[in-house]
């Protein structure tokens, strides 16, 4: 029998019709002569009724059914009596009287229930991933992801972008994160690398005159995993020729608006705000600000420069900063104990304490209130826009510590005070990033974005001999959603001369530059157009739109936190023959202990 529609779509429209449905037994209620089955498929549930009255054979079948059996049925759609209507079910006004039924497959009892908010361990869920994905909230994650990619394809196609595939077997470059390697059989001792991104290939496509490229591209990084990371991840990757940073941002906004409309039926307001990296750091202490709420950082460095409170004036004297946030209504909301807890919380960012005052009708109260005379109180209130009843929290330290302390505190307080509208999607551009970042770990300057990023026009001279390249800012832009980096991009360097200067500033010798990026430098010699682009993290975008806590929930078959896949048990030991063919020897083998993965 041919399916008429999905079970989850049988609604009032179908009343009076004969339908054929296929799906899984979600639940069975056996009243003897009357058996109710909730039939589940991709689109939801519908209630089936089996009774001798409709079909004795079907009733016998129903008697054998257990959860997760696969069945097909034919029956008549009837309106339920008012008292039987289930308002929590999309199909709750109808039921199907079954005239014919057939078991297509049986099922053992699953290791966890197929329902939302399942109470099973992550490992168990991953081992039985095909069962976990049957749960509606998981299915919804995949559907949201699908809607995003469909919107991306249609919007970018309409806007003249060509979908071009770039290779997954590429050359290893020590720059950036650690590569996944793929040994070559034809060239013993040689390796491909899985791409960390299609960056160089998409630039070369601009050199090839493709003009507008996009790809939903798989990327790979062999790094230790954190919550929002996977060994393989997907980005919406695009590149254009001849466009300015603003034009690329405009196109991206159109793309995001389409995605929001097609996925969640939300109309986002365009254009998004664009703030410079400097402004973002100043107002929010972070380059990924969550602008769903206010509580911005206010600079008090000048206001307290000559304060008698030595924590403030001392910090300023040492070249540091004093900044504050005004917590609305915080004077009552936070006890001294609560504030002590916040002080504890910010220690992780290097803060040596958390100075505070409460704003009262008579000025400030609290242990350090005495250091604020009338004028300074007025000045602080003016600078922070604080109102009576607010709590003022101060950080006084090196710039980075102040920024970290107050930016994390800001988010933490917003959560505690329920200031965040979880239904809001707040997009924002942060532009003009520094060209270089100082890597505290490796004690060296690295490319903030990547080594192909174009400096701002007025900063190009910083890359000249005898100047300080690290002063340069870049034609780069990140798109932030709800305080998380959704993606980013830049205008790229399109002349060999500037690219060589940039690599030199990153401590490449001419030889190492040629060895690693010779093909790009050569390409720049042959009429390379001005170009730029952007990449958006699809996994994170899908997670945010599906309102899930972990990107694993929007990836069909993710890896666990140790980069293993418990269902198929990958990675695994391979045969000696496979290793021989690759001219490889394993020097150490971990126990093949599934529980370890």
Window 66 to 85, contacts with a copy of itself (CB under 8 A): 68-70, 72
Q: Choose which of 146, 294, 387, 509 interacts with a copy of itself (CB under 8 A).
A: 146
How many CB atoms within 10 Å of residue 68? 18
Backbone angles phi, psi at 363, to 5 degrees: 115, -135
Six token digits for residue 595: 């529980």
Q: Is 163 in the site for a copy of itself (CB under 8 A)?
A: yes
Q: Choose which of 130, 306, 344, 387 interacts with a copy of itself (CB under 8 A).
A: 130
Task: With contacts defined by CB under 8 A, name the span among 295-303, 320-328, 378-386, 553-561 that binds a copy of itself.
Answer: 553-561
CB-facing half-sphere around the CA of 62: CA atoms within 13 A: 31
Question: Closest Cα partner for 450 from 168, 170, 175, 222?
Answer: 175
Pick 153 or 274: Cβ nearer a copy of itself: 153
Q: Chain centroid to CA 105: how far? A: 38
| Residue 353 known to bind ligand | no
Q: Is 153 in the site for a copy of itself (CB under 8 A)?
A: yes
Question: Closest Cα partner for 452 from 181, 235, 218, 239?
Answer: 239
Q: Choose which of 61, 193, 315, 393 interacts with a copy of itself (CB under 8 A).
A: 193
d(CA 71, CA 65): 9
Q: Is 209 in the site for a copy of itself (CB under 8 A)?
A: yes
Q: Is 234 in the site for a copy of itself (CB under 8 A)?
A: yes
Q: What is the DSSP string of 53-104?
A: TT-HHHHHHHHH--TT-EEEEEEEEEEPPGGG--TTSTTTTEEEEEEEEEEE
Site string for a copy of itself, 557-576 (x = CB under 8 A): xxx--xxxx-xxxxxxxxx-
Task: With contacts defined by CB under 8 A, name the span among 55-63, 135-143, 299-307, 391-399 that binds a copy of itself.
Answer: 135-143
Number of amino acids touching a copy of itself (CB under 8 A): 125
Q: Is 149 in the site for a copy of itself (CB under 8 A)?
A: yes
Q: Is 169 in the site for a copy of itself (CB under 8 A)?
A: yes
Site string for a copy of itself, 522-541 (x = CB under 8 A): -x-xxxxxx-----------
Task: With contacts defined by CB under 8 A, name the span among 76-84, 148-156, 362-370, 380-388 that binds a copy of itself.
Answer: 148-156
Question: Closest Cα partner for 435 from 412, 408, 469?
Answer: 469
Task: Evaluate whether 533 touches 215 at the Cβ level (below 8 Å).
Answer: no
Task: Evaluate whether 260 touches 425 at the Cβ level (below 8 Å).
Answer: yes
Task: With contacts defined by CB under 8 A, name the span among 81-89, 214-222, 306-314, 381-389 that binds a copy of itself.
Answer: 214-222
d(CA 564, CA 570): 6
Contact set for a copy of itself, span 490-509 (CB under 8 A): 494-495
Minimum distance between the CB of residue 583 and a copy of itself, rounded to whole angstroms?
Answer: 4
How many CB atoms within 10 Å of residue 592? 11
| Residue 485 known to bind ligand | yes
Pick 81 or 589: Cβ nearer a copy of itself: 589
d(CA 80, CA 99): 17
Runs of H (alpha helix) within 293-396? 310-317, 330-333, 336-345, 374-384
Q: Choose which of 14, 192, 277, 356 interacts with a copy of itself (CB under 8 A).
A: 192
| Residue 466 known to bind ligand | no
Give the Å distances, CA to CA, from 546 to 10, 139, 163.
24, 10, 25
d(CA 60, CA 69): 15
Backbone angles phi, psi at 239, to 5 degrees: -150, 145
Q: Choose which of 129, 298, 376, 492 interacts with a copy of itself (CB under 8 A).
A: 129
Minimum distance between the CB of residue 576 and a copy of itself, rounded to whole angstroms?
Answer: 12
Task: Evaluate whether 217 touches 234 at the Cβ level (below 8 Å).
Answer: yes
Q: Choose which of 79, 187, 310, 332 interacts with a copy of itself (CB under 8 A).
A: 187
Minimum distance between the CB of residue 268 and a copy of itself, rounded to whole angstroms?
Answer: 22
Task: Evaluate whether 326 touches 385 at the Cβ level (below 8 Å).
Answer: yes
Backbone angles phi, psi at 13, to 5 degrees: -55, -30
| Residue 421 known to bind ligand | no
Task: Evaluate whether 7 touches 21 at the Cβ level (below 8 Å).
Answer: yes
Q: Three-state DSSP class for 469? A: helix
Q: Choose which of 93, 159, 168, 278 interacts with a copy of itself (CB under 8 A).
A: 168
Q: Is the peptide bond before 271 cis (omega within 30 degrees of 0)?
A: yes
Q: Choose which of 74, 91, 235, 241 interacts with a copy of itself (CB under 8 A).
A: 241
Pick 119 or 589: Cβ nearer a copy of itself: 589
Contact set for a copy of itself, span 15-54 (CB under 8 A): 22-24, 40-42
| Residue 129 known to bind ligand | no
Minimum distance between the CB of residue 176 and a copy of itself, rounded to whole angstroms?
Answer: 13
Minimum distance between the CB of residue 76 and a copy of itself, rounded to whole angstroms?
Answer: 21
Minimum distance between the CB of residue 107 and a copy of itself, rounded to whole angstroms?
Answer: 3
Q: Is 231 in the site for a copy of itself (CB under 8 A)?
A: yes
Pick 6 or 54: Cβ nearer a copy of itself: 6
Contact set for a copy of itself, span 574-593 (CB under 8 A): 574-575, 578, 581-590, 592
Pick 83 or 108: Cβ nearer a copy of itself: 108
Q: Is 269 in the site for a copy of itself (CB under 8 A)?
A: no
Task: Evaluate whether 473 touches 455 at the Cβ level (below 8 Å).
Answer: yes
Six token digits for residue 389: 């009843």
Question: Closest Cα partner for 240 from 538, 498, 529?
Answer: 529
Beta bridge partners of 484: 481
Task: With contacts defined by CB under 8 A, name the span among 186-194, 289-297, 429-437, 440-448 that binds a copy of itself.
Answer: 186-194
Residues of the binding site for L-aspartate: 175, 221, 449, 492
Residues of the binding site: 175, 221-223, 230, 449, 485, 492, 537-540
Residues of the binding site for ATP: 221-223, 230, 485, 537-540
């Amino acid at each position: 029998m041919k399916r008429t529609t999905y079970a989850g779509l049988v609604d009032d429209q179908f009343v009076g019709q004969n339908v054929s449905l296929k799906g899984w037994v979600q639940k069975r209620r056996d009243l003897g002569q009357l058996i109710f089955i909730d039939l589940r498929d991709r689109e939801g549930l519908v209630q089936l009724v089996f009774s001798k009255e409709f079909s004795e054979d079907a009733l016998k079948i129903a008697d054998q059914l257990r959860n997760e059996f696969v069945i097909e049925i034919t029956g008549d759609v009837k309106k339920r009596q008012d008292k039987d209507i289930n308002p929590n079910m999309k199909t709750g006004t109808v039921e199907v009287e079954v005239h014919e039924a057939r078991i297509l497959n049986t099922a053992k009892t699953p290791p966890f229930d197929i329902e939302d908010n399942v109470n099973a361990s992550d490992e168990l869920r991953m081992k039985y991933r095909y069962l976990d994905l049957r749960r509606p909230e998981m299915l919804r994650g995949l559907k949201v992801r699908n809607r995003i990619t469909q919107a991306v394809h249609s919007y970018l196609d309409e806007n003249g972008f060509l979908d071009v595939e770039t290779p997954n077997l590429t050359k290893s470059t020590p720059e950036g994160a650690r590569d996944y390697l793929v040994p070559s059989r034809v060239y013993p001792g040689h390796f491909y690398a899985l791409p960390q991104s299609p960056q160089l290939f998409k630039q070369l496509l601009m050199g090839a005159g493709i003009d507008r490229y996009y790809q939903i591209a798989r990327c790979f990084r062999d790094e230790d995993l954190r919550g929002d990371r996977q060994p393989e991840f997907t980005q919406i990757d695009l590149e254009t020729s001849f466009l300015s940073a603003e034009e690329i941002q405009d196109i991206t906004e159109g793309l995001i608006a389409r995605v929001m409309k097609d996925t969640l039926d939300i109309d986002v307001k365009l254009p998004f705000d664009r703030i410079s990296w400097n402004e973002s750091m100043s107002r929010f202490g972070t380059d990924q600000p969550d602008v769903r709420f206010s509580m911005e950082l206010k600079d008090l460095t000048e206001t307290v420069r000559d304060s008698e409170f030595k924590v403030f004036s001392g910090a300023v004297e040492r070249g540091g900063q004093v900044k504050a946030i005004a917590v609305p209504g915080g004077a009552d909301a936070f006890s001294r104990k609560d504030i002590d807890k916040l002080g504890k919380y910010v220690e992780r960012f290097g803060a040596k304490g958390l100075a505070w005052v409460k704003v009262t009708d008579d000025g400030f109260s609290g242990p350090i209130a005495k250091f604020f005379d009338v004028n300074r109180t007025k000045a602080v209130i003016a600078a922070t826009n604080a109102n009576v009843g607010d709590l003022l929290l101060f950080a006084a330290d090196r710039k980075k510590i102040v920024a970290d302390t107050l930016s994390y505190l800001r988010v933490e307080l917003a959560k505690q005070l329920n200031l965040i509208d979880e239904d809001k999607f707040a997009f924002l551009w942060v532009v003009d990033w520094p060209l270089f970042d100082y890597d505290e770990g490796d004690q060296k300057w690295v490319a903030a974005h990547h080594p192909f990023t174009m400096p701002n026009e007025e900063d190009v001279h910083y890359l000249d001999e005898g100047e300080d390249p690290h002063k340069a800012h870049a034609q780069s832009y990140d798109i932030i959603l709800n305080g998380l980096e959704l993606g980013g991009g830049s205008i790229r360097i399109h002349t060999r001369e500037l690219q060589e200067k940039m690599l030199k500033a990153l401590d490449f010798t001419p030889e190492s530059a040629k060895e690693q990026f010779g093909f790009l430098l050569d390409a720049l010699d042959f009429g390379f157009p001005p170009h730029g682009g952007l990449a958006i993290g699809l996994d994170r975008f899908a997670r945010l739109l599906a309102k899930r806590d972990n990107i694993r929930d929007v990836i069909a078959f993710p890896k666990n936190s140790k980069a293993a896949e418990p269902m198929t048990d990958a990675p695994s030991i391979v045969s000696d023959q496979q290793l021989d063919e690759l001219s490889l020897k394993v020097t150490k083998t971990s126990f093949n202990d599934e529980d370890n993965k």
